[in-house]
Every structure is written in C-alpha cells, then in structure tokens.
Chain A
Amino acid sequence: MKAPPAIRFERVTLSYGARTVWSDLSLDVAAGTFVAILGPNGSGKTSLLRAILGLVQPSAGRIDVLGRAPHRGDPGIGYVPQHSSFDPELPFRGRDLVRLGIDGHRWGVAWADPAANASVDRALAEVEAVAYADAPIGRLSGGEQQRLRIAQALVGNPRILLCDEPLANLDLRYQQAITDLIAGWRDRTGGTVLFVTHDVNPVLRVVDEVLFVVNGRWAAGAPDEVLRSERMSELYGSHVDVVRVHGRILVVGESTESGFNIEEPHHAPAVVVDHPEQP
C-alpha cells in the first residue's frame, strides 16, 4: 500500500486575469519529501505556495493538500513567507511572534497560558533562538528573524512546511544553518517541505525533488534528472547549459543580441565555495 501524497496537483492551471502563470501542472509530493521549487522571478513560485494555502484559486485542475481541497488557515501547514523586516521600534519579541503561530488567529485577548508558553519555549529551543527570544524582534539580524519565523511555522506541529525564499539576504553560514534546521525537522517528523529558492545550491544536499517553473512551463523530478542541459533547454525553449562546478550547479544561458536568453542567470555566485559532492 502506497501512502497518499501530502500534496497532489492534477492538471492545475493558475491565471491572473488573462495572464496564465503556469498551466497543466501535475505533481505528487509524497509525505516526507523535500522539494525545491526553482525558476526565475515572476515564474509563479510564490503563487504555487499561495494556491496550496488556499489564498488563490486555480483556474483549472485540482489541488489536494493532506487529502482535502486547500483552505485558508489549514493547521496542517506551516508557512515561512518571503523576507520582510520588522520595524526596529516595534514592541514585539521573537517569543511573541512564535506565540502567534499557536493562537494568533483566534479572536479575543491572549491571556497567560502555561501550556502555550511551554510550546513556545520548545519551538525556540529547537531553532536555537532562546538567546534572543526576548529582544525586540526588529533589532535582530535577518538570520535570527528567519529562525524565529521557522519556529513560528513549526510550533503548531504542521505536516507540511512551505518556505518562500527563506535563504534570501542571508550569508552562506546562515544559509547552511537554516537549511539544516528545516531538513532536521523533515527527518525528525517525516514532514513535507516545499522550499522556494532562486538558488538550489545551498539545499542541494537535502533536496529529494525539484520543480522548475519557467514561462508557464514546468519540469519535476530528482535534481539529477531535471537539472540537465537538455531538459533545461527544452524548458527555456533555447540553449541553456547546466554546469557543475565544485559540487555546485549553475544554469547558464547563452548570450543573444538582446542580452542573455535567461534573464536571470541562475545564481552565478561571485565566490564559489566548496560544498560536499553530490553522491
């Protein structure tokens, strides 16, 4: 008996008005899978997460999340949104942010609740954020805020974690730490991770599958199947090279009269740092 997928897309098309973001997307994500969602800016990666959250409705096709249609406020989903900073003067602590993940959506005033506080403490310890949990959240670094956001997403014990560019604006050290944190949660709980990123390299060690979305088209599968020159050229509709250097993957477009055929070179880092080789 095969377990039902955590998330299933059946021939899903997403449009905003006349513009189709992507079409005919079919995908099964098995429970416990770490999926990297890749593609250039504006290719609809965030929209995909919003569709799973029930915030946008597909124009065709069907989405199943944990065996149900997507619905807003699904407690089975934890969400780490794209980085947005907090006002440095905001009277709000990391601890308060994590607490919102437990009961922030409920009406009324939040009273002292020892059980909720214990859950918050546990979540803070899991992401190693105890040291700064009582400081004003707007004065923390991007990496510290990101750990708190992950604690907030995980405190309600979700089965699916959606992360939207959680590594943006972080230095390499933090990128590794955040990746390990999320992969550790997946290993420990058997949860499913959908991880939107413009650079696959920091998560390459832990990724099971990639979904690459370009110009309304998509390709999904194991990283080694999808991140190949033929497959990517087909996807972009023009010649693209996938280059492996020092265990890193670069997707590079050829230059044309109007510039490069890939508007956003797939993360060509200024400094190439050694990473463990893919097996």
Chain B
Amino acid sequence: MDQLVTLLGYEFVQNAIAAGFVIAIVSGVVSGFVVARNMSFAVHALAELGFTGSAGFLLLHLSPVLGLLFGSAITAVFIGTLGVRARGRDVVVGVVMAFGLGLGVLFITLYKGYANQAFAILFGTITGVSRGDVLLLLAIGAVTLIALAAIYRPLVFATVDPEVAEARGVPVGALAVGFLLIMAAAVAEAIQVVGVLLILTLLITPGAAAERLTPRPGLAIAYSVSIALLCTLGGILLALITNAPVSVFVTSLSFACYLLARFAIGPRRPELRPVAARAS
C-alpha cells in the first residue's frame, strides 16, 4: 500500500492514470457500437494501419500519436467509401489492411531510430505518456465523445433497424463513414494503453460483456464504460506494483469481466430471459 502511495506521487504515474481515465471512457462508449455493428475486423484494421501511420510519422520525425490518428482515419475513410454494405465490408477491410501493413513494414525498415518506439506502439506505452500527450488524448477524446453524442440517435437507428432508418430519412451511409472516423479516434486512443495487437480488449470486450448484463441500451453503455475503466485503471495500477506490462493485466481483467458477465451474472438477470408468459 505504501508503495502504491509513493508511486501515485510520480508524475508519470499521474499522467498514466489521467490518460487511462479518458481512454477508458471513449473505449467503453465506442465498444458498444462496435459490437452491435459487428465491426471487430474493422477495429483490427484501423489499429494495424494506425501502426503504419505512426511508423510513417516517426520516419518524418513527427508525433507518433498523431501518426496513429492519421493512419487509422485514412483507413476509416477507405473502408467507409469502398465497403458500406456489411456483406462486402470484411473483404474491403482485408484488402486495405494487407496493403497498409506492407507499408508499415517498409517504414519500420527505413526508420533508423530506436526500434522500441515501434515496439511500444505494438504493445502499449501508457506509462511513458507525457503531460502533453495527456492533453492531446483528452482533446481527441472530447471531440470523439461530442461527435458521438451528436449522431447518437440516428446511429442507434441505423445500427438496429437500417431499413426503417433509411425510410425515415436517416443518412445511413454517411453515418457508417462517420462512425468509422469515431472508431479511428477511439483506436488511436486505446492503442496508448494496450497497443495495436491487443486493441480488441478495450474496443470489443467491454461492449460484449455489457450486452450480457442488460437489455437497456443506455445502461449497457454505462456498464461498458465502467468495465473499461476498471480494466484500464486496474491494469495500470497492477502493472506499477508488479512491473509487468500493462496490457497483460488489461487483457486479463477484461476477459475476466466478460466471463463473469456471460456465465455468472448475465444468466441470473430476469430481464434478459425470454418472456415466459407469451401473450399474443
């Protein structure tokens, strides 16, 4: 305990916790939509091409965080415009991802700096973020959440019930691209904690666990955010105490949350059972 209090006095620890807080809220909100829209593969592609962007920016001596954002945003636009329909989307994601990752390999080969910068992007660097990084993450997070709030209702409509949404005048195609851009920002944020390779632990698992806990859409988002916060902040603290990498604990905690939600808590919730007495 004393050790923990000492640690909390360090600036790098405070930065990590502040950044983790912002990132968890964004991830928690976005992951509910990622799960409902069945976009796990797109998340993966955005993250890997964020890595390419980041490697490219390192090569040009620019901020790797902005490089991440740049790479995933470009990918979002490509996926959004080339494959709006759900059926063709995975194929388009695969095609774009393969090419972008090839570019990433090229950039890393050309880069003469420290290879561990690239390593950090792959596995997460939360304990290395500066005060400036925290402010940048906060700004990206705030813009992401405001954008999501602005399109929330029609996005829900287009996600759950696309045919009627279209008939009611909801711009279903434009919202798909808009949400991909929001995902791109969330991916760029979450990579700071868990890295490119483990991105799904923050952008899928909280939403997947939350939907096992309640049928209420608003409450599901609240649960998802709580789970993301627990995993991120818990992961950071456990990593500080044990000196093991943050992502190990974040992935373990989020997997535990999912298992608990799916097999222990969810099945006991009466509101999630199919209605027993069928009135017709």
Contacts and interface: CB of A to CB of B under 8 A. Distances in A.
A91 B214 contact: yes
Given A81-B167, A174-B280, A136 B215 contact: yes
Contacts of B168: 72-73, 79, 104-105
A205 interface: no
B215 to A, nearest CB: 4
Interface residues of B, number: 38
A97 B210 contact: no
Interface stretch (B97-105, B153-161, B197-205): B153-161
Nearest to A80: B164
A106 interface: yes
A105 B214 contact: no
A173 B280 contact: yes
Contacts of B154: 104-107
A97 B161 contact: yes
Nearest to B36: A90
A100 B156 CA distance: 9
Contacts of A109: 149, 152-153
Given A91-B220, A103-B153, A105-B154, A132 B163 contact: no
Interface stretch (B71-79, B116-124, B250-258, B269-277): B269-277
Interface centre among A72, A79, A89, A97 (most CB of B within 10 A): A89
A243 B158 CA distance: 44
A143 B280 CA distance: 8
Contacts of B212: 89
Contacts of B32: 91
A260 interface: no
Contacts of B92: none
A65 to B, nearest CB: 12
A144 B161 contact: no
Contacts of A132: 275, 278-279
Interface residues of A, number: 47
Contact of A91 (B157, B170, B217): B217
B149 A93 contact: no
A55 B167 contact: yes
A91 B210 contact: yes
A100 B215 contact: no
A103 B279 CA distance: 28
A81 B163 contact: yes
A139 B167 contact: no
Interface in B218-233: 219-220
B274 A140 contact: yes
Given A79-B164, A84-B163, A109-B149, A134 B215 contact: yes
Contacts of B151: 107
A173 B220 CA distance: 35
B195 to A, nearest CB: 28
A128 B279 CA distance: 8
Contacts of A106: 153-154
Contacts of A92: 160, 215, 217
A246 B163 CA distance: 37
A170 to B, nearest CB: 11
B1 interface: no
Interface of A: 53, 55, 72-73, 77, 79, 81-82, 84, 86-87, 89-93, 96-97, 100-101, 103-110, 128, 130-132, 134-137, 139-141, 143-144, 149, 152-153, 173-174, 177
Given A79-B167, A136-B272, 14 more contacts: A55-B166, A77-B167, A89-B212, A90-B160, A91-B216, A100-B156, A105-B168, A107-B154, A108-B150, A128-B280, A131-B275, A136-B274, A139-B273, A177-B280
23 contacts: A72-B166, A73-B169, A79-B164, A79-B168, A82-B163, A91-B214, A91-B215, A91-B217, A92-B215, A93-B215, A101-B164, A104-B153, A104-B154, A105-B154, A105-B169, A106-B154, A107-B151, A108-B150, A108-B153, A110-B153, A136-B272, A144-B275, A153-B164
